[in-house]
Amino acid sequence: MNRNDCKLERVSNITIGLILMMFGLLLTLSGITVLPVIGLLIAIPVLIIAVIFMASPRSKACAIIAQRTRGTLNK
């Protein structure tokens, strides 16, 4: 794994989170208007998963690479 992979990891997490957020909001809107109970039971977990994706920390491999590159820049 290299630095470019680590940059793309964060971008992909945010992209997936935003897509899930839009899908969850659509389900919430339809849940309120069409199928109140079933729609909201599906929408709430999708919104929670979207927040988890957007707030996820970077992987351990990317954290190690970031520490190594920071160390070489300071020297």
The parent domain of residue 33 ranges over 3-74
What is the domain count for the chain? 1
What is residue 73's predicted lDDT score, i.e. its pLDDT?
52
Alpha helical stretches, state H, the chain: 3-33, 36-55, 60-74
Tokens in use for 58?
Answer: 């970077």
The total number of residues shown for the chain amounts to: 75
Q: With contact defined as beta carbons under 8 Å apart, do 65 and 2 qualify?
A: yes
pLDDT averaged over every residue in the chain? 82
CB atoms within 10 A of CB 20: 19
* pLDDT surpassing 60 at residue 67: yes
**Selected residue with higher pLDDT from 37 and 69:** 37
User: How far is 41 from 25, CA to CA, in rounded Å?
Assistant: 13
